[in-house]
Amino acid sequence: MSLRKALLAATMLGLPLAAQAQPVTGLYIAGGFGANWLQDAKLGATGPLAQSLSRSGINPGGEIAFDTGFVGLGSLGWGFGNGLRAEVEGSYRQNDVDKIRGFRGTTSQADGKSRSYGVMVNALYDLDFTRFGVPTYIQPYIGGGIGYIWRDFDDVRVNVLGGQLRSSDTDGRFAYQGIAGFGVPLTQFGVTGLTLTAEYRFLGTLEHSIDTTSSGGGFSSSRGGTKSENYNHSALIGLRYAFNQPRPVAPAPTVAPAPAAAPAPARTYLVFFDFDRADLTDRARQIIAEAAQAVNTTGTTRIEVAGHADRSGTPQYNQRLSQRRAEAVAAELAQRGVSRSQMSIQAFGESRPLVPTADGVREPQNRRVEIVLR
């Protein structure tokens, strides 16, 4: 008995960390801010602009480099309680232009800004790495998404042969992204459902086409387009708040049977179930039959039927599963002549384990219904 009390005490002490590992359930919002690195991108003039550059002896292709910029995003999502999440995200990225290389082998300082903004639809999955020694208060996740991103060149200018190339236009394209990060739930600070996040995102789009003009210098004025790649690497810090995240519930200690010498001792019968099942096995029916016979021979006046579940699955699902198990046992008792008016039927979900375990662990002894005769 002392060993069981020690295990229960250890479980209750570890609860603040274990509760933090609950998967996201229901509606949540999230936001983040950080640095954005825009990959050097190939440039290629098109149309009359390309012809004008070629006639002037200038290669119509080059490369554009950017300074480190920033990114901000917000999302609205839904957690399915099993680690899977889906969300809609809006984002904004901005980087200043640094240099433009090429166009007759020159490297020139350039001015202007590049902006990317749009909407993505993402699917994410929260990973369980506790079996590899990762602490329960760290929740790694991965994901990906698709959407539509607008690329805006705001007055991007570079001087070539005494003239100037200038781009100032917006173009939208199909976009895709990959996401990897981890969350640290802040439940221990008194805010259930709030999680600090740190993540990396790669965002790419199909090639954009930006209106570009040339004027002055050693080539004729013309108008055309410039094709440009758009590959972003982002590092963000953010917060996520799940509205329906269950509050941690301390497991109640197992009630020890009364000493044998005590008057009118309670009799307890344990009925066990298969994983994720609420139907009765042949052995379960035998135990229920023994309990029903004892009701008639011991003068029992009150019968407690309590359903339980292990910690595999969400607390909400386990609550419903333990209720179905209790109802199944009560129905079998009634078929064997026990009046339902004598029964008190309760469901405790995963909150009262016979064997304390970490979240997500399948434990056969916790999948049970206790029949207590008083």
* Most confident of the ranges 144-153, 246-255, 357-366: 144-153
Is residue 10 included in any domain, yes or no? no
- Count how many domains the chain has: 2
Q: 186 and 95, same structural domain?
A: yes
Q: 207 and 117, same structural domain?
A: yes
DSSP annotation of 255 reads P
Q: What is the pLDDT of residue 248?
A: 56
Which residue from 52, 43, 30, 14 is spatially nearest to 222, judged by alpha carbons?
52
Is residue 58 included in any domain, yes or no? yes
Residues spanned by the domain of 65: 23-242
Q: What is the pTM of this model?
A: 0.58
- The Cα–Cα gap between 252 and 366 comes to 13
Is residue 150 included in any domain, yes or no? yes
CATH number at residue 191: 2.40.160.20
Q: 349 and 281, same structural domain?
A: yes
**Predicted confidence (pLDDT) at residue 295 exceeds the cutoff of 60:** yes
**Distances from the Cα of 196 to the Cαs of 64, 184, 205, 226, 365, in angstroms?**
35, 5, 28, 41, 35
Among 79-83, 127-131, 152-156, where is mean pLDDT lowest? 127-131
Q: 318 and 222, same structural domain?
A: no
- The Cα–Cα gap between 223 and 332 comes to 85
- Residues 94 and 73: beta-carbon distance below 8 Å: no
Q: What is the maximum alpha-carbon separation in the chain?
A: 111
Q: Which of 193, 225, 242 is the last residue of a domain?
A: 242
Is residue 254 included in any domain, yes or no? no
Q: 279 and 130, same structural domain?
A: no
Q: 307 and 184, same structural domain?
A: no
Instruction: Please give the span between the terminal C-alpha atoms of the chain, in angstroms, as a whole number.
Output: 22
Is residue 120 included in any domain, yes or no? yes
Q: Tell the residue number behind the tokens 């005590």, with chain if given.
A: 262
Is residue 8 included in any domain, yes or no? no
Q: 201 and 114, same structural domain?
A: yes
DSSP annotation of 19 reads G
- The Cα–Cα gap between 62 and 13 comes to 62
CATH number at residue 295: 3.30.1330.60
Q: What is the pLDDT of residue 252?
A: 56
